[in-house]
């Protein structure tokens, strides 16, 4: 199943290969590159993922138009909720699995924690999740990370420019000039994002948008993979205690990898990242359990079984 979802066009655009197949959604943030497309993303999935598992949530500039004045937010889970509800209602015989990375992973884990048992996802994977956005913001403004900060701010300015007319004449605390000329992600969030989503300050936004605050409530099998040297999702922000105490969650932290920079195999650094095989192994392991039990305790057991059986190669 291929899946596109545009933040600025709420309609769902589905390309179904097999309507009864199990569905896998990928949730990603659009800060990194304003020109991502579905075709561009196929190589990131790698050979381990069969065609019926292919999917993509597209960045908001993909189709050009717009229908809402709310911008992207690490706290906003309504889009994902609508997607999951729509797909699960239409394909009632399918299990739905989600994979999110970077801020997309933060949104996914927030969704899992907020919705708890009410959603239709059967399993999920979080990759390079910043988890604690207050800590991530602090580290993002240090040393070489300033280069990333400026690059992401440039992408945000480019995206905002295409939709700037929507924000003209708005009342409230909006600082449109600050957002339009932001040199850092924090400036952009202060001028626009936090106001759009009714936060009192940018720090209030980062604190309440952090998935570290909701992961203890997750009741869906969840694999979290982080890199200890990730400059954007710092290791000190990982909620180790909350994950350890939650039997539905499993954490893998590699010593290297940066931010989504895991490589392996003979084709490295151009081939599929080693995480592809681990992600698929986890989801297939959970899926096998879905065929034998629907109980929460069954999910817990499958997660714990995976933790003792998986072999992670971080070469």
**CA nearest to 24, candidates 276, 289, 271, 312:** 276
Per-residue model confidence (pLDDT) at position 292: 64
Say which residues have a Cβ less than 8 Å from residue 302's Cβ, sequence separation at least 6.
221, 285, 286, 288, 289
Per-residue pLDDT at 313: 46
Q: pLDDT, tens digit, for every residue of 236-266?
A: 999 999 999 999 999 999 999 999 888 877 7
> What confidence score (pLDDT) does residue 120 get?
85
Burial of 67 (0-12, 13-18, 19+ CB in 10 A): exposed
Backbone angles phi, psi at 75, to 5 degrees: -100, -15
pLDDT one-digit tens code per residue, 145-183: 999 899 999 999 998 888 888 888 887 899 999 999 999
Residues designated as active site = 102, 230, 259
Q: What is the pLDDT of residues 5-18, one digit of tens each?
A: 333 333 334 444 45
CA distances to 72, 283, 292, 299 from 288, in Å: 35, 9, 7, 10
pLDDT beyond 80 at 37: no
Q: Given pLDDT bands bounded at 50, 70 and 90, which one contains residue 227?
A: very high
Q: Are residues 197 and 75 in contact, defined by beta-carbon separation less than 8 angstroms?
A: yes
The reported pLDDT for the residue numbered 36 is 33
pTM of the model: 0.78
Closest CA to 107 of 94, 124, 87: 124
pLDDT digits (tens, 9 = 90+) for 42-90: 333 333 333 233 233 333 333 333 334 566 788 888 878 888 888 888 8
Across 72-76, 110-114, 294-298, the highest mean pLDDT is recorded for 110-114
Q: Are 211 and 27 in contact (CB under 8 A)?
A: no
The mean pLDDT of the chain is 77
Overall average pLDDT of the 95-105 stretch: 89
Domains identified in the chain and CATH numbers: 2-132+210-309 (3.40.50.1820)
Flag the least confident range among 46-50, 83-87, 103-107, 306-310: 46-50
Geometric angle at alpha carbon 32, from 29 and 34, rounded to 5°: 90
């Amino acid at each position: 199943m291929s899946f596109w979802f545009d933040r600025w066009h709420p309609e769902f655009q589905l390309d179904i290969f097999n309507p009864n197949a199990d569905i896998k959604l990928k949730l990603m943030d659009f800060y990194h590159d304003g020109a991502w497309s579905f075709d561009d993303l196929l190589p990131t999935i790698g050979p381990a993922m069969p065609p019926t598992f292919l999917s993509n949530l597209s960045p908001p500039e993909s189709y050009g138009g717009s229908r809402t004045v709310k911008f992207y937010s690490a706290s906003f889970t309504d889009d994902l909720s609508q997607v999951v509800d729509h797909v699960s209602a239409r394909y009632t015989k399918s299990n739905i699995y989600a994979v999110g990375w970077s801020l997309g992973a933060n949104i996914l884990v927030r969704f899992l924690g907020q919705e708890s048992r009410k959603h239709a996802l059967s399993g999920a994977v979080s990759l390079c999740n910043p988890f604690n956005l207050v800590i991530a913001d602090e580290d993002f403004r240090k040393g070489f990370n300033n280069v990333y900060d400026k690059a992401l701010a440039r992408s945000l300015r480019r995206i905002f420019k295409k939709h700037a007319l929507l924000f003209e004449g708005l009342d409230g605390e909006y600082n449109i000039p600050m957002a339009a000329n932001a040199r850092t992600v924090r400036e952009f969030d202060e001028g626009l994002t936090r106001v759009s989503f009714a936060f009192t300050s940018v720090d209030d936004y980062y604190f309440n948008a952090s998935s570290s605050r909701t992961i203890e409530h997750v009741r869906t099998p969840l694999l979290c993979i982080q890199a200890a040297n990730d400059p954007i999702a710092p290791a000190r922000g990982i909620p180790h205690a909350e994950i350890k105490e939650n039997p539905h969650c499993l954490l893998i932290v590699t010593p290297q990898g940066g931010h989504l920079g895991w490589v392996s195999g003979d084709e490295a650094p151009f081939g599929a990242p080693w995480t592809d095989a681990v992600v698929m192994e986890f989801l297939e392991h959970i899926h096998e359990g879905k065929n034998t039990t629907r109980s929460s305790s069954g999910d817990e057991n499958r997660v714990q079984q995976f933790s003792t059986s998986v072999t992670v190669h971080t070469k």
